[in-house]
Amino acid sequence: MRRASTLLLALAQATVILRASVPESSPGASGVLVSLVHASRLRRFTATERVSNVLFAVMHLSLVFVLFVPVSWRVIALAAGGYAVRMWAITGGYHRYFAHRSYKTSRAFQVVLAVLGATSMQNGPIWWASVHRRHHKHSDGPHDPHSPVQRGLLYAHVGWVFDRTLPRPRDESNVQDLLRYPELRWVDRHDWIPLTAYGVACFAIGGVAGLVWGFVVSTLAVFHATMLVNSLAHVWGTRRYATDDRSRNNPVIALLTFGEGWHNNHHHFMSSARQGFKWWELDVTYYVLRALACLHVVWGIREPPPVRAAAPASQSPTAPVVLEPLSRPL
């Protein structure tokens, strides 16, 4: 399994090395230098990382069982329902709540968000928020954990997970607001428990077919859809705002991730719980948050201001901007 993870990282690094002929003045050229410099400073995976890498490989290899297990509406519904609930837990919980604090909720529902998110095989809420906050601080720069501009599309999608040149992932200096909750620290340290419990539940509901479709297929679908935001949403789509990074608005990714594909909107006003700024920009995560607000489960939902400074993609970040009104909150 270790060879598999090493091979995957090598493929990701190859996408960078192939770009070595790009002039240093070209976008992404600095990523080549960073990659080559880091290549000589490999660290050892922690025991937890080794287990995670093995699980990641086993989950993907297990996809072959879809060819052998019986398919029924029951297991398809289990897979679709598991995708919907856990995708929202990532987008509405891990991302818009833990990483950006774009709304408020009770301490009890905060734990619910943490546990549901941990069933998605994307580590615990504190780790996730820390990595994502570093992404925004260094977006598409040399220190961005997963920039396709710096180190290639494959690396940004999944290669960074196996990168031994990166510092150890337990950098908690930027998540002090989350560390004060012992229950969140417990979920973060034991994120494998909700994941395992979800797998057992899928098996109990649908047997082996339920485990394959409801757990393996659904979990990997959530994982890779989320990773599309890290990778494709920085290279494919349109740019409404002249942000300092390469973030894009992509309706296909927005559909798959319940609104996360409006990534250029998000990078322009990252503290907003609403990422589909126009009425036609589908944002299911935001709609669910509004419904929960009606039930008084969440409150203090942050909205984008009525008017934001917007620059066409053809302009540089320092060029004069135009004012573009946003549609009102739903």
What are 52-68's pLDDT values in tens digits? 888 899 999 999 999 99
| 73-87, 166-180, 226-240: range with lowest mean pLDDT | 166-180
Q: Would 200 be classed as within a structural domain?
A: yes
DSSP characters over 177-201? HHHT-HHHHHHHHTTHHHHHHHHHH
The residue among 301, 36, 314, 71 whose CA lies nearest residue 151 is 36
Q: Would 262 be classed as within a structural domain?
A: no
Instruction: Name the phi and psi angles at 325, rounded to 5.
Output: -70, 145
Q: Would 83 be classed as within a structural domain?
A: yes
Q: How many domains does the chain have?
A: 1
From the centroid of its chain, how far is CA 311? 26
Return the sign of the alpha-carbon dihedral for residues 278, 279, 285, 290.
Answer: positive
Residue 132's pLDDT is what? 94
63 to 5, 6, 220: CA distances (angstroms): 17, 21, 9
Question: Once rounded to an integer, what is the mean pLDDT over residues 157-177?
Answer: 78
pLDDT at 27 over 50: no
Show the beta-strand stretches assigned E in the chain: 104-105, 298-299, 307-310, 322-325
Contact 138, 151 (CB under 8 A): no
Tokens of 257: 């991730």
Residue 11's pLDDT is what? 45
Question: Once rounded to an integer, what is the mean pLDDT over residues 256-283?
Answer: 96
Residue 188's pLDDT is what? 95
Q: Would 261 be classed as within a structural domain?
A: no
Which residues span the domain enclosing 29?
2-235
Contact 124, 118 (CB under 8 A): yes
Which tens digit of pLDDT belongs to each residue from 120-147?
999 999 999 999 999 999 999 998 999 9
Confidence category of residue 43, pLDDT binned at 50, 70, 90:
low
pLDDT at 168 over 80: no
Confidence category of residue 41, pLDDT binned at 50, 70, 90:
low
Contact 134, 171 (CB under 8 A): yes
Residue 5's pLDDT is what? 47
Q: Would 9 be classed as within a structural domain?
A: yes
Tokens of 108: 């009890």
Residue 169's pLDDT is what? 52
Residue 322's pLDDT is what? 33
Q: Is 172 helix (H, G, I), strand (E, B) or coil?
A: coil
Q: Would 326 be classed as within a structural domain?
A: no
| 38-47, 91-100, 138-147, 278-287: range with lowest mean pLDDT | 38-47
Residue 161's pLDDT is what? 83
- DSSP-derived letter for residue 161 is G
Please report, as a single letter, which amino acid is at residue 32: V
Q: Would 256 be classed as within a structural domain?
A: no
Q: Would 259 be classed as within a structural domain?
A: no
pLDDT at 105 over 60: yes
pLDDT at 32 over 90: no
Report d(CA 172, CA 178) in Å as an integer.
9
Parallel, antiparallel, or unpaired: how do β-strands 322-325 and 298-299 relate? unpaired
